[in-house]
C-alpha cells in the first residue's frame, strides 16, 4: 500500500516526541508556538516596567547595592511634582515638541507636495532630501556644532549674508535665547524627510480619478486641495505626528551631542534630566518615579491620538 | 450635551472615552504649562486617572 508523505513524516517522528504530542489540542499547540514570543515580551518589556514601578516607591540607589532599601511610598512622586527645575525641563520639552512638530509637518508636507509633481530629477531630489534622516544623531549633532560655530560656522555666515548681521556677533548654542531654537532647527533638518516620506506615500495613494472628477465639476485647485488632498492625506499626517511626537518627547542623543543641555539647563529636556538623576546622581528610585510619570504621559497621549486616528480613518 | 450626559449615565463607550481623553489632555497641558506650580503638581494624578479610565471604558459597549 502506498503511504502519503504525511504518514511517512509521522512515522519518522521519534516515538518519545510522538507520545508527548499525542492528545494536544490545536489550541494547546497554538499556545506552544506563541509561548516563546510571550515569554520574551514579558522578560524584555513587561518585567522591566513592573520592576521600575516597584523601584519608584523606594529609595534604592544602584551605586549602593548593599545599602538597605526602604519603602518611601509616594515621596519620590511628590518631590518630582513639586520640583521647579523639573517643571522647567517639562516646559523646555513642550517648547521643543510643539515647534519641531509644527515645522516638520509644514515643511514635510510642502516638500511632499512638490516632490509629488512630475518634474525632471524628481528621484534625485527625493534622495538628496532624505539623506539627513539616514545619518546617526551623534554625527548630526557633531557637525552641526561646527556649523553653529560663531567664528567659522557656515550657519552664522549664511545668516550674516541674508540679514547683514556680523556672523561672530551671535552664538546659536551658547546663547540662552537662541539655544532652544538651535536644537529645533537641527531636529527639523534631520526629521522633516521622515514626515515628507509619509506624506508622499499618502499623496501617491490618492487615485487620479478623484481629481479628474473634481475637474469635471469645475472645482478650483484650491478647493481640490482642501476637499480631496488634505482629508485623504490626514491619516498619514497624523501617523507621522504620532511617531515624531513620541520620538521627540524622548529626545536625548541629538541634544546631548549638540548642547549637552546647556547653556545652563535651558535645553535640558526631560530625558536628559532623567539620565542625570539616574546615572550621575544615582537616585534610582527617584529616577524610576520620573520615568513612570513620563511613561504615563506618553501612553495617555498616544491612546487618545490612536483613537482620533481611527476616527479619521473611518470617515 | 444632553446626549453626552445620557451616554455617561448609561455607561456608553464614546461618552466615557471622551471624558477620559479630556482628562488626559488636561493632565498633559497641566504638566507642561509655565503658569502655575499647583497645576503642575496635580498633572500626574489627572493624567493617570484619565489613562486608567481610558483603558477601562474602552471595554464598555458602543
Q: What is the pLDDT of residues A79-137, one digit of tens each?
A: 999 999 999 999 999 999 999 999 999 999 999 999 988 788 888 888 999 999 999 99
Q: Is the pLDDT of residue A313 over 90?
A: no
Q: Compute the nearest-CA separation of B29 from chain A (Å).
A: 9
CB contact under 8 A, A84 and B24: no
Half-sphere exposure of A24 (CA within 13 A, CB side): 14
Q: Write down the ipTM of this complex.
A: 0.91
Instruction: Answer yes or no: are the C-beta atoms of A115 and A125 closer than 8 Å.
Output: yes
What is the pLDDT of chain A when averaged over all its residues?
A: 89
Q: What is the largest CA-CA distance in chain A?
A: 95
Give the single-character DSSP code of A225: I
A156-169 burial, b at 16+ Cβ within 10 Å, e below that, comes to beebeeeeeeebee
Q: Is A251 exposed, middle or buried (0-12, 13-18, 19+ CB in 10 A)?
A: buried
Domains of chain A: 5-55 (no CATH), 76-314 (1.10.3720.10)
pLDDT at A162 over 70: yes
Would you call A300 an interface residue with chain B, using a CB distance cutoff of 8 Å?
yes
> Domains of chain B: which residue ranges?
2-57
User: Of how many residues is chain B composed?
Assistant: 62
* Per-residue pLDDT at A14 exceeds 90: no
pLDDT at A6 over 70: no
Please judge whether A93 and B41 are an interchain contact, meaning their C-beta atoms are less than 8 angstroms apart. no
A299 contact B CB<8A: yes
Chain A residues near residue B54 by CB distance under 8 angstroms: 300, 303-304
The pTM score is: 0.85
Answer yes or no: is pLDDT of A145 > 80.
yes
Q: In 3D, which of B46, B37, B47 has the Cα closest to residue A300?
A: B47
> Residue A269 burial by CB count (10 A; 0-12/13-18/19+): exposed, middle or buried?
buried
Q: What is the pLDDT of residue A56?
A: 95
Q: Which of A181, A294, A192 lies closest to A241 in space, CA to CA?
A: A192
Task: Please confirm whether the linkage preceding A263 is cis (ω < 30° from 0).
Answer: yes
List pLDDT tens digits, range A224-281. 999 999 999 999 998 899 889 989 998 999 999 999 888 888 999 999 999 999 999 9
Number of H helices and E strands in chain A, helices first, is: 16, 0
Q: How confident is the model at residue A21 (pLDDT cuts 50, 70, 90)?
A: low
- Distance between CA atoms of B48 and A303, rounded to whole angstroms? 12
Write out the three cell numbers for A134.
Answer: 539616514
Amino acid at each position: 500500500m502506498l503511504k502519503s508523505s504525511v504518514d511517512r513524516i509521522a512515522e519518522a517522528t521519534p516515538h518519545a516526541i510522538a507520545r508527548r504530542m499525542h492528545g494536544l489540542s490545536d489550541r494547546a499547540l497554538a499556545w506552544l508556538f506563541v509561548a516563546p514570543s510571550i515569554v520574551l515580551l514579558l522578560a524584555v518589556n513587561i518585567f522591566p516596567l513592573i520592576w521600575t514601578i516597584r523601584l519608584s516607591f523606594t529609595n534604592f540607589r544602584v551605586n549602593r547595592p548593599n545599602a538597605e532599601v526602604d519603602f518611601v511610598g509616594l515621596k519620590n512622586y511628590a518631590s518630582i511634582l513639586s520640583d521647579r527645575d523639573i517643571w522647567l525641563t517639562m516646559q523646555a520639552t513642550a517648547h521643543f515638541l510643539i515647534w519641531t512638530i509644527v515645522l516638520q509637518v509644514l515643511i514635510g508636507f510642502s516638500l511632499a507636495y512638490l516632490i509629488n509633481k512630475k518634474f525632471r530629477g524628481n528621484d534625485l531630489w527625493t534622495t538628496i532630501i532624505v539623506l539627513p534622516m539616514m545619518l546617526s544623531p551623534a554625527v548630526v549633532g557633531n557637525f552641526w556644532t561646527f556649523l553653529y560655530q560663531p567664528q567659522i560656522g557656515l550657519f552664522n555666515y549664511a545668516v550674516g549674508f541674508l540679514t547683514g548681521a556680523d556672523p561672530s556677533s551671535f552664538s546659536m548654542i551658547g546663547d540662552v535665547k537662541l539655544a532652544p531654537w538651535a536644537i529645533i532647527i537641527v531636529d527639523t533638518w534631520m526629521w522633516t524627510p521622515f514626515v515628507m516620506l509619509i506624506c508622499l506615500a499618502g499623496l501617491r495613494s490618492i487615485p487620479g480619478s478623484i481629481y479628474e472628477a473634481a475637474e469635471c465639476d469645475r472645482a478650483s485647485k484650491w478647493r481640490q486641495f482642501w476637499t480631496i488632498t488634505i482629508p485623504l492625506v490626514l491619516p498619514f499626517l497624523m501617523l507621522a505626528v504620532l511617531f515624531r511626537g513620541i520620538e521627540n518627547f524622548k529626545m536625548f542623543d541629538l541634544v546631548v551631542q549638540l548642547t549637552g543641555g546647556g547653556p545652563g539647563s535651558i535645553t535640558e529636556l526631560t530625558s536628559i534630566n532623567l539620565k542625570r538623576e539616574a546615572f550621575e546622581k544615582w537616585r534610582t528610585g527617584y529616577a524610576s518615579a520620573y520615568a513612570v510619570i513620563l511613561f504615563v504621559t506618553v501612553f495617555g497621549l498616544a491612546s487618545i491620538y490612536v483613537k482620533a486616528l481611527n476616527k479619521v480613518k473611518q470617515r | 450635551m444632553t446626549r453626552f450626559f445620557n451616554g455617561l449615565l448609561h455607561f456608553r463607550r464614546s461618552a466615557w472615552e471622551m471624558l477620559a481623553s479630556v482628562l488626559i489632555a488636561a493632565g498633559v497641558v497641566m504638566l507642561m504649562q509655565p503658569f502655575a506650580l499647583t497645576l503642575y503638581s496635580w498633572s500626574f494624578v489627572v493624567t493617570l486617572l484619565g489613562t486608567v479610565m481610558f483603558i477601562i471604558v474602552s471595554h464598555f459597549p458602543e
